[in-house]
Structure formats: C-alpha cells, structure tokens
C-alpha cells in the first residue's frame, strides 16, 4: 500500500513540476511591463499578476508571496537582531560589506538549502 502511495505522490509531483515548467516557458515569452506608465505613475506588478493569475496559476501564487509586503515588522526585527549578533564588540573592525554579506547569508542559507534539496528530488524523479 505504501508503494502505491509513493508512486501516486511521485506522479503528482511530476505533474506539478511539468505544469510549473510550462507556465515558466509561457511567462518568459511575455514582454516585460514598463516600470512607469506614460502618465508617470508606477505600474504595480501585483495587479499584473492578479490580471494574469488564470494564465499562470502556479507562478501567480509564488509572485504574490514574493511581492507582497510583510504584515508585521518581525522579519525586519530579525534582521536587526542577526546584525547585532554579527557585528559584536569582538567584530568592531568588520568591514560593512562583509557584515552585510554575513547577514544576507544567515537569512539566505536556509533558502539555498531548500533549493538544492528540491533539485535533488527533481533529479531523482527524472
């Protein structure tokens, strides 16, 4: 019974990955929107994604998550906390660009690990 569930789960993953790949291919063919309209106001990428969400069902979900503004200040407070730990009294002479990179890597590392894990899963499926 577990083998049947595993195969079913793998089939669903393949279907989702194939659909996402197809959406991405279509999306790459669309011309980019201008930053500003002719009247000088800025275009809103969230509105573009809302308008095109039926065409790009999976990508629009990802875009909404990436383009939306966090409702709390917790993420920014976390960054300041990490920066405070990184730039301590013992590291006063740390160059600002190095400190920025260390803070960035602290937050980005988990995302990079998830990306590589997803790549490994995808490679196992093909």
Residue 52 pLDDT:
94
Whether this prediction's pTM lies above 0.75 is answered by: no
Judged against a pLDDT cut of 70, whether residue 71 lies above it is answered with no
Band of the pLDDT at 124, cuts 50, 70, 90? low
Predicted confidence (pLDDT) at residue 75 exceeds the cutoff of 70: no
Residue partners of 108: CB distance under 8 A and separation at least 6? none
Task: Output the CA angle 78-84-90, nearest 5 degrees.
Answer: 150
Q: What is the pLDDT of residue 126?
A: 56
Report domain extents, the chain: 1-68, 72-126
Mean pLDDT of 119-124: 68
What are residue 103's phi and psi, to 5 degrees?
-65, -45
- Residue 65 burial by CB count (10 A; 0-12/13-18/19+): exposed, middle or buried? exposed
The share of the chain scoring above pLDDT 70, in percent, equals 82
3-class secondary-structure state, position 69: coil
Query: Which residues face 42 on adjacent strands?
Result: 36
pLDDT value, residue 99: 79
* Cβ-based neighbours of 122, under 8 Å, separated by 6 or more: 17
Q: Which two tokens stand for residue 93?
A: 């002479």
CA distance 122 to 124: 5
pLDDT of 29 over the 90 cut: yes
Phi, psi (degrees; rounded to nearest 5) at 98: -70, -40
* pLDDT for the residue numbered 70: 66
Residue with the bigger pLDDT between 69 and 109: it is 109
Structure tokens of 6? 């595993």
């Amino acid at each position: 019974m577990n083998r049947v569930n595993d195969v079913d789960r793998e089939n669903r993953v393949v279907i989702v990955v194939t659909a996402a790949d197809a959406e991405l291919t279509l999306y790459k063919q669309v011309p980019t929107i201008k930053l500003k309209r002719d009247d000088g106001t800025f275009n809103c990428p969230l509105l573009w994604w809302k308008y095109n969400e039926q065409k790009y069902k999976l990508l629009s979900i990802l875009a909404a998550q990436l383009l939306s503004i966090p409702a709390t200040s917790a993420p920014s407070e976390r960054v300041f906390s990490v920066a405070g730990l990184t730039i301590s009294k013992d590291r006063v002479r740390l160059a600002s660009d190095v400190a920025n990179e260390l803070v960035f890597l602290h937050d980005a590392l988990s995302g990079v690990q998830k990306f590589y894990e997803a790549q490994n899963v995808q490679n196992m499926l093909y």
